[in-house]
Each structure stands twice: as C-alpha cells, then as structure tokens.
C-alpha cells in the first residue's frame, strides 16, 4: 500500500484508510465483533495503517472494537478518534467545552487500549465554545502526551484558520466525493495554503457510488433512510453519477467504487479517503483504487461529465446540516 503525508504534519498513513463507523453504528445493527475484528486485522495485513473511529459510534462500542482488534499491532497503525458530543446525559447536542474534551480523551484512551491518540478530531464545531478554547485544550493534551495530532471535522475555512493559529491542525475530515464537492470552494484552498491534510469521509457516497447500492436491502435502522439524498426519487435521479463512474471503470478495467476513490486520490497528494466497509471483498476492492492511475484525459472526462449533472436531494435533513460549519 502506498503512503501519504497529511499536509505538513509529518503524519504518514496508508493512501487509503478504513472508516470503522459502519461496523457498529449507522448502517443497521452492529456487526459481529469477531467478524469485524478479523476484517480490521485483514486490513492491516493488506497495508492499511489509518483507522477512523469516534466515541459516538455505538456509542463507545466502535472504539472498543477498534482498540481490541488493533492492540496486537498498535505500533504499526494510526488511530483517529473524535470528541464533541454530549452522550448519555439526556441533553444531546454538541459539547466541546475544554473540560469535556479532556474527559473524552481519557475515556477514549481506555477503550482504544492505548497510551496515546494519534489524531484527535473535534467531531462537529460547537458554536457555544470558541474554537481557540478547543484548540487550546487539545494543545494541552498534546503537551501531556495523551494526543499526537489535532484535527477538525466539517469545519469552515475561517474556523480552520482560527484553530490552526492556536494549535496546528494536522487534518480536516469532511464529506467529499464526486457527488458532494462543497469543500472545493473555500476549504481545499485553505488546507493547501496552511499545509493541512484532508480526510474525506463517505468518499463513496455512503455506498451509493459503488454501483451496488440496493435501497430495498437497507435495514430499518439504517440512517440513510432519513437522508433526503436517499429518497426513492433522488436515488433514481442520482444514478447518472454511477453511470459516469461505470463508463470510466469499463475503460480502466476497474469498478465504479475504485474510480470514485482514484478520482479523490488524484485531486491532491495530501488527500486520504477513508471508505468504510464490513466485507473483505469490498475492502480489497477499495484498496485496489490506490493502484489506478487516472490520466489528465481521464480526469477531464470525469469533470466534463460531472459538470453536466445535478445532485438531487440534500445530504442531511436541515437540523443535521446546521451542525456542520461549512
């Protein structure tokens, strides 16, 4: 597996990471722990060194899964986790108060069975806490040796700049794919200027861009059922994006998912997508994208095709979208 550096931080990870949320949260009931442990270890064997989790995935059980599965190879991998929500308090919502950040760090360290968190993201911007205070709290955790790198998720350009001035931001994690390109306007130029890496989540459009999406197979508790972009009429209209990827995949003897990931990798050398999966065959398919070279002509063709398409449906309901800083 090829390696990439996240911006100017010196943090080197596999060119494609593994998003672990779906193993425990969001896409139906939690998957079998033994099977997911096997999958996580198979990812390491195939060269993946970058694993993404969060306390809220479950809650808590995804961190526990990742911590136990990767404990035998802890020195070989980079584990990213996140803070920023009230969990189990009955209040819900965001919470990035400095004292809370430090409590979360201690709890996550125990669940992850590690002495240090490699990359600690603010999961969502908290409008009630100045970002300078958030960055300051993580800076203290770094000084204490509990955290190595600071990250943000779904933050806008101005917030990134303010945070970076207090504690250098190693990476921003936000949704980015061929059918969600909002970061291109302001965020990507800001990251390039400041030397910050970018970690796209949902790089396969929550499974839609794979060409294998089946709305009928979604579990009753699958959160995609609540997303406007996955309403039946939107799914039908958005098939045009899959058709575009499929045409390029045939040309490159690849799959739509591999083209979607290769397109992201071709955008910038400091972009590291983290597709999630619960299946070994999909893991291997995704990792194969790192070996696909898209030529300038390929990229122009994808860009020209995408420019003719319109995404149907918002990515989140309005209340969830307001929790982002973009």
Residues with catalytic function? 57
How many residues appear in the chain? 326
3-state secondary structure of 28: coil
Widest CA span in the chain: 53
Looking from the CA of 67 toward its CB, the CA atoms found within 13 Å total: 19
Closest CA to 290 of 13, 9, 11: 13
Nearest to 204 by CA among 229, 224, 178: 178
- Rounded to whole angstroms, how far apart are CA atoms 179 and 206? 11
Cross-sheet strand order for the sheet of 78-83: 18-19, 50-52, 78-83, 117-122, 147-153, 169-175, 197-201
User: ∠ CA(146), CA(74), CA(122), 5° rounding?
Assistant: 40
Cβ–Cβ under 8 Å, residues 133 and 98: yes
Angle 276-13-152 from CA coordinates, rounded to 5°: 70
């Amino acid at each position: 597996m090829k390696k990439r550096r996240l911006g100017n931080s010196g943090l080197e990870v596999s060119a494609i990471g593994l998003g672990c949320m779906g193993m425990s949260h969001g896409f139906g009931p939690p998957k079998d722990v033994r099977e997911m442990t096997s999958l996580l270890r198979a990812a390491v064997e195939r060269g993946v060194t970058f694993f993404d989790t969060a306390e809220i995935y479950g809650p808590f059980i995804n961190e526990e899964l990742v911590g136990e599965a990767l404990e035998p190879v802890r020195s070989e991998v980079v584990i990213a986790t996140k803070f920023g929500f009230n969990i189990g308090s009955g209040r819900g919502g965001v919470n990035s108060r400095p004292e809370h950040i430090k409590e979360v760090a201690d709890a996550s360290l125990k669940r992850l069975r590690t002495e240090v968190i490699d990359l600690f993201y603010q999961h969502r911007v908290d409008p009630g806490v100045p970002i300078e205070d958030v960055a300051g709290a993580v800076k203290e955790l770094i000084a204490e040796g509990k955290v190595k790198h600071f990250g943000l998720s779904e933050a806008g350009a101005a917030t990134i700049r303010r945070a970076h001035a207090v504690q250098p931001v190693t990476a921003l994690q936000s949704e980015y794919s061929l059918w969600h390109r909002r970061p291109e306007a302001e965020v990507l130029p800001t990251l390039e200027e400041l030397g910050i890496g970018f970690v796209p989540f949902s790089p396969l459009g929550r499974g839609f861009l794979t060409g294998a999406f089946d709305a009928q197979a979604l579990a009753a508790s699958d959160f995609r059922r609540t997303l406007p972009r996955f309403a039946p009429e939107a799914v039908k209209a958005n098939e045009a994006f899959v058709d575009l990827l499929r045409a390029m995949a045939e040309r490159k003897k690849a799959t739509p998912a591999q083209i979607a990931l290769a397109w992201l990798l071709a955008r910038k050398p400091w972009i590291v997508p983290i597709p999630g999966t619960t299946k070994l065959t999909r893991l291997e398919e995704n990792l194969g994208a790192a070996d696909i070279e898209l030529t300038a002509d390929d990229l122009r063709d994808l860009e020209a095709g995408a420019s003719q398409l319109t995404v149907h449906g918002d990515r989140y309901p309005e209340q969830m979208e307001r929790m982002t800083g973009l």
